[in-house]
Amino acid sequence: MDLSIIIVNYNTRQLTLDCISSLLQSETSYKYEIVLVDNGSSDGSVNAVRSQFPSVNIIVNTENVGFSKANNQGIQRATGRYVLLLNSDTVVEPSTLSAMIDFMDRNPDVGTSGCKLVLPDGTLDEACKRGFPTPLASFYYAFGFSRRFPNEPKYNQYKLSHLNPNEVHEVDCLVGAFMIVRREVIQQIGGLDENFFMYGEDIDWCYRIKEAGWKVVYYPKTTVIHYKGASSRRKPLKIIYEFHRAMVLFHRKHYSRKHSIVVNFLVYAGISTKFLISLMKNIMKNII
């Protein structure tokens, strides 16, 4: 088996069906399998997939165990020499699978790679190529320096907007919506950190991959459409909480011991403030 494709589904039945349909239209000579992990959906997703795509290997959870744990379940079931994390709200091109496997085969020092992701309106999903959220990079991003100086590398350490999105780049991290990982890498560093529920696990994985000496590469020679945030719209308060909790977890795990008490305090204070602002905005939006 060349490629194991892991899709986590949570109440995104039609999007998941469209995603699988696009995969099955792939023009490739490589052998691949699809492993669907359902996180306790109530919209009939499992029965629909079983009916329309009987070849798909399905793991059914009775509750939403989170993105990290569900993907790890899929990885344990996978048999491919590469593992692809693929969001249920994506549609791949017919050439995508072949293009990415070819690239990985040609570059044995690359531990993980991701392609160009675009939103339905054709604009770039900026999360598909990022730098690590260091305290300084986060400061420049949070206070608008990256938006004011989009072509300055110093102020764009997180979004990397100064990099040409149509060229191949070695980057810090990719997005879990589309991320192909070499099996040797997973055997070396392990799966996703299950302390992250649904945000930050991809950044953490890329950090550990680079720490182990592998390259992380953005490869935009094929494009995937990303209908972003489909399953996360259902519980906005939960989403806001998990998004900011992931920031705390990542900083505590990778940066807290590298910085002073003052810097750590400012980071946690900034995250708390941003969380409260996001929470109030959401409450006001619901009231209106």
On whether both 125 and 138 belong to a single domain, the answer is: no
What's the pLDDT tens digit per position in 204-250? 999 999 999 999 999 999 999 999 866 555 567 888 999 999 999 99
Task: Determine the Cα angle at 232 with ends 229 and 233, to 5°.
Answer: 90
Q: Is pLDDT at 178 greater than 60 in this prediction?
A: yes
On whether both 249 and 112 belong to a single domain, the answer is: no
On whether both 73 and 86 belong to a single domain, the answer is: yes
Which residue, among 127, 235, 119, 225, has the nearest Cα to 176 in the 3D structure?
127
Q: Is pLDDT at 61 greater than 90 in this prediction?
A: yes
| Contact indicator for 13, 45 with CB cutoff of 8 Å | yes
88: amino acid identity, one letter = S
What's the pLDDT tens digit per position in 145-159? 988 998 899 999 999
Q: E-strand spans in the chain?
A: 3-9, 32-39, 57-61, 82-87, 90-92, 110-118, 169-170, 178-182, 215-226
On whether both 49 and 98 belong to a single domain, the answer is: yes
Copy the structure tokens of residue 17.
């069906």
On whether both 62 and 152 belong to a single domain, the answer is: no
What's the pLDDT tens digit per position in 10-34? 999 999 999 999 999 999 999 999 9
Give counts: helices (H), strands (E), the chain.
10, 9
pLDDT, average across residues 48-71: 97
Cα dist. 143→54, 128, 136, 138, 146 in Å?
50, 22, 11, 8, 8
Q: To 10 degrees, the CA torsion angle through 161, 91, 9, 11?
A: 100
- Picking from 214, 230, 246, the residue at the C-terminal end of a domain is 230
Q: Residue 123 belongs to a domain with what CATH number? A: 3.90.550.10
On whether both 105 and 25 belong to a single domain, the answer is: yes
Q: How many domains does the chain have?
A: 3
- Picking from 182, 202, 230, the residue at the C-terminal end of a domain is 230
What pTM, to 2 d.p., does this model score? 0.93
- What is the structure's pLDDT at 15? 97
Range of the domain at 248: 236-287
On whether both 201 and 256 belong to a single domain, the answer is: no
Mean confidence (pLDDT) of the chain: 95
- What is the structure's pLDDT at 288? 80
- Picking from 204, 230, 256, the residue at the C-terminal end of a domain is 230
- What is the structure's pLDDT at 283? 86
On whether both 55 and 109 belong to a single domain, the answer is: yes
On whether both 89 and 40 belong to a single domain, the answer is: yes
On whether both 16 and 119 belong to a single domain, the answer is: yes
On whether both 86 and 118 belong to a single domain, the answer is: yes
- What is the structure's pLDDT at 218? 98
Tell me the percentage of the chain whose pLDDT exceeds 70.
Answer: 98
On whether both 278 and 180 belong to a single domain, the answer is: no
DSSP string, 201-258: HHHHHHHHHHHTT-EEEEEEEEEEEE-TTTGGGS-HHHHHHHHHHHHHHHHHHHTGGG
